[in-house]
Structure 1
């Protein structure tokens, strides 16, 4: 019963707060106002409704241009990262057509890519590189899909080529690539085991709405975000080597977080 009350209350609050914040953001984008407050406020409200406690280790790098290479467990990763940093996302193209969520992604000035269309990878890297060169910190979920939260899938190196594009687009002599690990660690204060961590995961082609409903009903989940040291990408760097180095660091941070999770209390 309590779970269903949480679901109804959460949906009601989301319905009330989302339209005015979308309008605020659209006006900000149209008239050149500060675009940062609305997305961060919306994501923090959603985190409260979901009952997700965020534990942050480290900080978003201050250096620019910046590409963030993160693992990907669920749609909630976007909410978590956006609640703590003013970032933009590299999202799959079909998301642009989703009701509500597509509009939200556009309001956050996401770049939509078709990962399976290799012939388009150059143009997509160019768009991302241009945004990085302009100073926008872009989040790349480098696995190319979502995992189960227990391990890291191999990083795909193609879109790391955006760093080289940024160099040629006036981004300076180096681009910074920051590895970030997202770890879902506790449910109702108890450490998650491998079998329980799939509660947070939204894998493959699973239907989104039931997963959102399950998180709203359950609540009380802890997630850790670990910001690694940024790596310099220069004209001499090889994207596959940089992608492999970022993958190894994210894997290390994820393993450490899962084996020794923070106590269940809100750090920020």
Structure 2
């Protein structure tokens, strides 16, 4: 068993080597507009997860092209977990674009940066999101607007669903809820006390959170993709926000409970969808 400091050092070496090797290729692909710009980010995320001993357990229908995916947000590692299984671009707050290295990596994955505190930009940002979706991009949004503790999902901000409004083609944008849970440590279900240590919340700095994950033994993150919905089915933007929040929170609850079979989980989700179909406003 390796000492913590040596484990962290070796894992950082692998991650740094991956950046040095893959970054020039991604720069070339992006600036020359060559095909396959989403393949290298997926490979990079897979390498990071392999280096830190993280496994991803995926269930549910994989989102199709042109889908807006809405997920709960727990940690910076969410980007790597989701990006390792799906060619996807993320929607992030604008100030991340200025972060050293991380900002560059985000730009090279075609991240769409938005200014959430400026209402005057809402229409332009919504149009930009809708344009990307209609072109066939998969976009991922964390509509809580912050990170949670991995068990409780904060209410979704309905303003971030503005791109789901009917487009010029009158075709509703598919919205696919995704539940993300840090579920196991060393093959054993995580308790809430353990799960919260992997969450980047409150006054926890980015570097201490990264250090904890780099020191960690093998752990598993569960991704559950739920059936897509749209604004017409939900009956409006606010109802869509409430409905998708219910679905994501239910998915998180089913995973953290750890006692449901897949069939039982499907029955619970069907019941939630039936209830959620009723008027919410």
TM-score, length basis structure 1 = 0.91
Cα distance in 2 for partners of 1:197, 1:118 equals 35
Report the equivalent of 2:154.
153
Report the equivalent of 2:57.
55
Report the equivalent of 1:13.
14
Say whether the 8 Å CA contact 1:183–1:225 is kept in structure 2.
Answer: yes
Which of 41, 45, 52 is matched with 2:47 structurally?
45
Which of 183, 189, 192 is matched with 1:194 structurally?
192
Say whether the 8 Å CA contact 2:61–2:227 is kept in structure 1.
Answer: no
Q: Which consecutive residues of structure 2, in runs of 5 or more, have no partner in the other structure?
A: 261-281
| Bigger RCO of structures 1 and 2 (CA < 8 A, at least 6 apart) | 1
Say whether the 8 Å CA contact 1:145–1:204 is kept in structure 2.
Answer: no
Cα distance in 2 for partners of 1:261, 1:101 equals 38
Query: Secondary structure of the residue that 1:182 maps to in structure 2?
Result: strand
Report the equivalent of 2:180.
182
TM-score, length basis structure 2 = 0.87
Cα distance in 1 for partners of 2:233, 2:119 equals 23
Aligned length: 259
Tell me the C-alpha RMSD between the 2 structures: 2.0
Q: Do the aligned partners of residues 215 and 236 (structure 1) sit closer, same or farther apart at CA in structure 2, a change above 3 Å counting?
A: closer
Q: Which consecutive residues of structure 1, in runs of 5 or more, have no partner in the other structure?
A: 263-268
Query: What is the 5 A alignment of 1:1-268?
Result: 2-31=3-32, 32-62=34-64, 64-164=65-165, 167-168=167-168, 170=169, 173-204=171-202, 206-234=204-232, 237-260=235-258
Question: C-alpha displacement at 1:233, in angstroms?
Answer: 3.1
Cα distance in 2 for partners of 1:192, 1:30 equals 43
Question: C-alpha displacement at 1:236, in angstroms?
Answer: 9.1
Cα distance in 1 for partners of 2:82, 2:61 equals 11
Question: C-alpha displacement at 1:30, in angstroms?
Answer: 2.1
Cα distance in 1 for partners of 2:72, 2:90 equals 13
Deviations 1:103-135 (A, max 9, x none): 110000001112222332222212111111111
Say whether the 8 Å CA contact 1:113–1:124 is kept in structure 2.
Answer: yes
Query: Secondary structure of the residue that 1:185 maps to in structure 2?
Result: strand
Higher deviation after alignment, 143-152 or 10-19: 10-19
Question: C-alpha displacement at 1:237, in angstroms?
Answer: 4.3
